[in-house]
Amino acid sequence: MKIITTVSETHSEMNKVKELGKKIVIVPTMGYLHDGHLSLLNHAKELGDVVISTLFVNPKQFGPNEDYDKYPRDFERDRNLLEKTGCDYLFYPEVSEMYGEHFSTQISLGGITKILEGVTRPTHYDGVALIVLKLFNITKCDVGIFGQKDYQQFMVIQKMVNDLNLDIQLVMAPIIRENNGLAMSSRNRFLSQEEFTQAAILNKSLIAAKEKILGGMRKRNEINKFITKSLLTSSLIKIDYVETVIDFTFVLMDEFHSGDRIVILLACWFGTTRLIDNIIIQL
Ligand code: PAF
């Protein structure tokens, strides 16, 4: 695996790859890789000829009181994992390489960036969109692969791709879970043993709600209340939001109907750790 730290070298390497007519797949990450990331990489290898992973903890997607400084980092560990997975290139820039002294451009997508995650984290998705657009441009990728765990993020990126007419195919890869059903996340390492055990309630509640919905529960309020009640059986949980939306558009209906594809999204705190999860249900 070739490690590149500058934009100019990435441009020239990717130009060579393009000249050979090869398809480039990007797997953007903030590092501290887990099996969820590795499944993205394995998936990426099936989608194109050359896989470039990026490792960059993007300061612009963290709010002032969020965990940018605390975000877990372990470059050597990540590099070994990427090498073992057969990644071709790793783009690993410094913050100064991505946001030089005179950097001032901002992206503001509006729409779905302002709801759910966007309420608690108002500048988060503008920061994500900015870095992802830069990474798409730097790597000249044809395909971008992102995990379903960050469902709203995927839809924000898809919206940016559509609105800005980017010639990039996006692929959503399924959520990879711990043995107890908790969605894998770099932040899970901050959970105590007891919090980790209790956090299994997120996935359990989503699965129980799916059964209820397929059994006929169709009113949005009832669905949200059912999940909230189920989540609150954990003594350590603090709920940020639970919401059920129409897939892709995030339209909030009072009641869902056969043929709708809906998504239940939730965010909860266990101590100082914020976890998100979701489930997609075809009615
Ligand atoms: O999902 C993430 O890890 C990040 O938001 C991403 C897409 C790598 C952008 O920094």
Q: Is residue 206 part of a domain?
A: yes
Q: Domains in the chain: how many in total?
A: 2
Q: Which atom of ligand 1 is nearest to the CA of 150?
A: 1
Residue 178 belongs to some domain of the structure: no
CATH code of residue 33: 3.40.50.620
CATH of the domain at 272: 3.30.1300.10
Q: Which atom of ligand 1 is nearest to the CA of 28?
A: 8
Task: With respect to residue 147, please indicate whether it lies within any of the assigned structural domains.
Answer: yes
**β-bridge partners, 170:** 144
Q: At residue 74, does pLDDT exceed 90? A: yes
Per-residue pLDDT tens digits for 104-128: 999 999 999 999 999 999 999 999 9
pTM to 2 decimal places: 0.96
Looking at 142, 173, 204, the residue that finishes a domain is 173
The Cα 73–Cα 53 span in angstroms is 16
The number of the ligand 1 atom at minimal distance from the alpha carbon of 186 is 3
Ligand 1: residue of 29, 32, 135 to mutate (most ligand atoms within 8 A of CB) is: 29
**DSSP label at residue 176:** P
Pair 193, 145 in one domain: no
Q: Are residues 190 and 255 in the same domain?
A: yes
Clarify whether 11 is annotated catalytic: no
Residue nearest to atom 1 of ligand 1 (CA): 29
| Same domain assignment for residues 67 and 16 | yes
Q: Residue-wise over 44-65: b if at least 16 C-beta within 10 A, else e?
A: bbebbebbbbbbbbbebbbeee
What sign does the CA torsion over 169, 174, 176, 177 have? positive
**pLDDT, tens digit (0-9, with 9 covering 90-100), for 169-194:** 999 999 999 999 999 999 999 999 99
Q: Which of 11, 37, 124, 257 is catalytic?
A: 37
Measure 146 CA to ligand 1 centroid, in angstroms.
Answer: 8
Q: pLDDT averaged over the chain?
A: 97
pLDDT value for 65: 87
Residue at 81 is within a domain: yes
Final residue of a structural domain among 173, 196, 228? 173
State residue 142's pLDDT score. Answer: 98
Residues 168 and 190 grouped into a single domain: no
Does the pLDDT of residue 240 top 90, yes or no?
yes
* Same domain, yes or no: 31 and 165: yes
Do 157 and 204 sit in the same domain of this protein?
no
Query: What percent of the chain stands above pLDDT 70?
Result: 100
Containing structural domain, residue 158: 2-173
Same domain, residue pair 104 and 35: yes
Q: Are residues 73 and 108 in the same domain?
A: yes
Query: Which residues contact ligand 1 via a Cβ below 6 A?
Result: 28-30, 58, 61, 128, 131-132, 150, 153
Q: How far apart are CA 25 and CA 45, in angstroms?
A: 8
Sequence-distant (≥ 6) Cβ neighbours of residue 193 within 8 angstroms: none
Q: Report the separation in Å between the CA atom of 282 and the middle of ligand 1, taken as the mean of its atom positions.
A: 27
Query: In this structure, which residue's CA is closest to atom 2 in ligand 1?
Result: 29
Question: Do 36 and 126 belong to one domain?
Answer: yes
Within a 13 Å sphere around the CA of 168, how many CA atoms are in the beta-carbon half?
A: 27
111: left (phi over 0), alpha (psi -120 to 50) or beta: left
The closest alpha carbon to 229, from 254, 252, 209, 250, belongs to 209
